[in-house]
């Protein structure tokens, strides 16, 4: 049976996964990062950040997500990340260097497409449905 449900706003029917390197995020402002994430997620993509967001950026991400939710399209995000590495987080050198971000792999996707997102210490597992 041929699939005829192509949604019109994108050629692909699969799920696109964007793996964004820490390097690519490094030069961006908080709002640029959030925009990049939400643009991807609103297109139906799964966004994986090599090095996650700072707490401040996470709180802004929630705030902006809330302001963009609308009943006919976007119902928000699912997000999971590995816990902050305690050792590197509190290292004296890290603090001296004013380093806030430690590597923290983060997975973000559209809430209406992620059927489940589970995590344990070392594994994040996402079950995704097509658009």
- Cα dihedral angle (124, 113, 79, 21), rounded to 10 degrees? 70
Q: Is 80 in the site for other proteins (CB under 8 A)?
A: yes
Q: Is 71 in the site for other proteins (CB under 8 A)?
A: yes
Q: Segment near other proteins (CB under 8 A), from 3-11, 12-20, 25-33, 56-64?
A: 56-64
Whether 70 and 96 have beta carbons less than 8 Å apart is answered as no
Q: Is 62 in the site for other proteins (CB under 8 A)?
A: yes
Q: Is 66 in the site for other proteins (CB under 8 A)?
A: yes
Q: Is 5 in the site for other proteins (CB under 8 A)?
A: no
Q: Return the bridge partners of 48, or none.
A: 19, 107
Cβ count within 10 A of residue 7: 11
25, 45, 47, 78: which one contacts other proteins (CB under 8 A)?
A: 78
Q: Is 116 in the site for other proteins (CB under 8 A)?
A: no
5, 29, 67, 122: which one contacts other proteins (CB under 8 A)?
A: 67
Closest alpha carbon to 35 in 50, 23, 22, 47: 47
Give the separation between CA 97 and CA 59, rounded to whole angstroms: 24
Give the separation between CA 103 and CA 82, rounded to whole angstroms: 9
Residues in contact with other proteins by CB under 8 A are 54-56, 58-60, 62-67, 69, 71, 75-81, 83-84, 100, 111-112, 119
């Amino acid at each position: 049976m041929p699939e005829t449900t192509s949604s019109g706003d994108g050629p692909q029917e699969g799920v696109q996964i964007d793996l964004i390197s820490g390097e690519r995020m490094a030069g961006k402002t908080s709002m640029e990062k959030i925009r990049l994430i939400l643009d991807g997620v609103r297109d139906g993509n799964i966004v994986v950040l090599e090095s996650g967001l700072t707490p401040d950026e996470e709180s802004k991400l929630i705030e902006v997500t809330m302001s963009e939710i609308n009943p006919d399209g976007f119902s928000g995000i699912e997000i999971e990340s590995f816990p902050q590495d305690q050792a590197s987080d509190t290292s004296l050198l890290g603090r001296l260097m004013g380093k806030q971000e430690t590597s923290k792999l983060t997975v973000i996707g559209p809430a209406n497409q992620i059927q489940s997102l589970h995590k344990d210490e070392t594994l994040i597992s996402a079950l995704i449905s097509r658009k």
